[in-house]
Structure 1
Amino acid sequence: MTASTQVLSALLCDPDAATQMAGPLLRSLDLTGRDPLAWVTDPDMRESIVAGFVDLPDWGTP
């Protein structure tokens, strides 16, 4: 079984996994923007997020 087949199989078996992986996958392929979360206030950190150097999980607002 190839890696892509394993990933597809996992995504089809677990809809929650597909939802969790969609955002990071689209961002890693540069298909969506990397908007910093509202609670990130440090300008240097915000620039690093937009540039793709830092990838924060989508935890929501703390």
Structure 2
Amino acid sequence: MSPEIEKLKRNNNELREIVNNSWDGIGIIDKQSKFIYVNTAFSPILGYPKEELLQFTF
């Protein structure tokens, strides 16, 4: 694998860890208004478990 791809993978993993471990609630909704991602801090904000939030559509 090329060094550029390896670097992109490392950067992607680092950013994923930052978002996952953020104390701020982060949720991503797709074009169909469905959650496609929520971090651990987001669940208590709405009062639902992460798995349940990922089933919601707004």
**TM (normalized to structure 1)?**
0.35
The structure with more helix, counted as a fraction of residues: 1
Q: Which has the higher contact order (CA 8 A, sep 6+)?
A: 2
**TM (normalized to structure 2)?**
0.36
